Amino acid sequence: MKSIISTFLLLVVLTGCVKERQTGADLKVGDSLPDFEVTMNDGIVMSDDSLKRSVSVVMFFHTSCGDCQQVLPQMQQVYDEYIDKGVLFAFISREDSGSSVASFWKEKGLNMPYSAQTDRKVYEKFARERIPRVYICEKGGIIRYIHTDNPVPSYDDLRNSLESLIH
């Protein structure tokens, strides 16, 4: 009887771990956007549901990250080129204050809407580590491309990923 109870408890514990891993981070190509909602600096609320309406881009960054500093101006070019083509964008900071992001945006001449997050709550729904992270999703919220810091994506990499989904 002890062994049956022990086996049952072990199965319950293992099932709990599997579920925990499945709800954890490190999304892959083919996964759906996780449930999330952020308010952008322009007051618009972006969520997984709103991003599913169109091809979308979600980028996580920190203003003191060198690779992020390299990618953000390229993302501005991508944003400028694709915002009028119906692509939706969510630029979300990871542990970065609103004043830091606003200052960086002003210094670099960026005008993309962003959501400054002072913690990792939203980020951890997507990944455990590494920024920048750029998720490019098809309509319906399925992730088709993930660009990180290895290698840092070029403008052409980002543009090619988007072009494959909008044509």
CA dist list (Å): 163 to 48, 78, 166: 21, 11, 5
Question: For residues 92-111, b (16+ Cβ closer than 10 Å) or e, as one string?
Answer: bbbebeeebbeebbeeeebe
- pLDDT tens for 134-160 read 999 999 999 999 999 999 999 999 999
Q: Kindly list the domain boundaries of the chain, sorted by start residue.
A: 27-166
- pLDDT tens for 76-111 read 999 999 999 999 999 999 999 999 999 999 999 999
- pLDDT tens for 6-53 read 443 333 333 332 222 333 469 999 999 999 999 999 999 999 999 999
What fold is seen in the domain 27-166? Glutaredoxin (3.40.30)
Q: What are phi and psi of 39, to 5 degrees?
A: -105, 125
Indicate if the pLDDT at residue 61 is higher than 50.
yes
